[in-house]
Amino acid sequence: RAVMDILALKAKETNGAEPEKKPTPRPKPKQPKKAKRIVYFEVEIVDLKTKEKLLLLDKVEPTATVLDIKALFHKSYPRWYPARQSLRLDPKAKCLRDEEVLQTLPVGTTASFYFSDLGPQLTWGTVFLAECVGPLVLYLMFYFRLPFIYSPKYDFTSSKHWVVHLACICHSFHYVKRILETLFVHRISHGTMPLRNIFKNCGYYWCAAAWMAYYINHPLYTTPFYGQQQVNTGLYSNFVFFLLQFCQVGNFSIHVALRNLKLPGSKVKRIPYPTKNPFTWIFWLVSCPNYTYELGSWIGFTVMTQCVPVAFFTLVAFIQMTVWAKGKHRSYLKEFRDYPTLRSSILPFIL
């Protein structure tokens, strides 16, 4: 019996004890992921004219941009800085944009780029300033009748016609506004332009300003031929277009709206729409209202002065701005499927 009691006691102790815990198996260490194999590109740069091989770039990363390739090319040829280079995949193709990525281009792992020299470059901001400062200074030289411009007896004299003084105010205001916009408003997407173009652009604007200023400020200049009624009409038109901030402020408002449409450094394009500013409501009808307001300003200046050079400049400006506006309008239609169909290029319902 004693033996049985001992056995019963041991069984009771065994039943009351906590079950023995099994050791938790340790998680297997994760195998390190195999690094993706990078397929490097081999880039060959060939002279567009001579077809001479200029450089061979080995192990170019697939995520490299055209600008990166230009920078590598610049290291071997310091005189050709990136802004001066033009790269294309085919001699007859368009130049590649700096932001295009190598692996997205229609090339294999061995790519050939055709290089051409764009020549010395200037920033667009510098060009715009030169285009505006010249006409402003030249016009004032004729207005104050500096020596060697008119007859010596008219040196530093002043015109007796009020329209001449108002024309100077309006012309100066226009170009001062453009200078301030270039400095503080415009976000210029194009980095540079060839140096040779500045002579063409400045020659046009400077010569046109001098031509207009010579006749408007001439000592023998007379008020408009068709009577006092047209003088008053011209003054009123100019007063509305310039001094009451109709076309000039409208043009400025459009430039501000376009600036706010694109964030600094962003390449994303968006459709411009009217804002709370009433001067931007014309966006419902035209794609490039900045040109519409610009045209209105010069029409008012033409009506006020009734000077043939001013009329000729206005006509040429209208033709050029129409070309720019139609190109911009086509670009909008191509890029945006939901672009408003009611809009015209520069003149509502007409052009």
**Torsional sign, CA 328, 331, 336, 340:** positive
CA distance 240 to 33: 72
Same domain, 81 and 126: no
Same domain, 51 and 134: no
Instruction: Return phi, psi of residue 205, to 5°.
Output: -70, -40
| Residue 100 Cα distances to 115, 129, 270, angstroms | 16, 30, 19
Same domain, 252 and 167: yes
Same domain, 171 and 232: yes
Domain that holds residue 112: 41-119
Same domain, 290 and 222: yes
Q: Answer whether residue 220 shows pLDDT above 80.
A: yes
Give the model's pLDDT for residue 240: 43
Residue with tokens 């040196």: 155
CA distance 74 to 315: 44
Q: Is 161 left (phi over 0), alpha (psi -120 to 50) or beta?
A: beta
Same domain, 114 and 133: no
CA distance 80 to 40: 25
102: domain CATH number is 3.10.20.90
pLDDT in tens, 34-88: 656 777 888 999 999 988 999 998 888 888 999 999 999 999 999 999 988 999 9
Question: Please, which pLDDT band fits residue 12 given cuts at 50, 70 and 90?
Answer: low
Query: Is pTM, for the whole model, over 0.85?
Result: no
Q: Closest by alpha carbon to 268, among 330, 336, 333?
A: 336
Pick 128 or 229 by higher pLDDT. Answer: 128
Q: Closest by alpha carbon to 40, among 56, 23, 52, 24?
A: 56
Q: Answer whether residue 154 shows pLDDT above 60.
A: yes
Same domain, 112 and 127: no
Same domain, 52 and 185: no
Same domain, 130 and 269: yes
Total domains in the fold of the chain: 2
pLDDT in tens, 234-292: 555 455 445 445 888 899 999 999 998 877 766 678 899 999 999 999 999 999 999 99
**Torsional sign, CA 231, 217, 308, 315:** negative
Domain boundary, last residue among 100, 119, 138:
119
Asked, for residue 19, whether it belongs to a domain, the answer is no
| Residue 207 Cα distances to 178, 302, 307, 324, angstroms | 18, 17, 16, 22
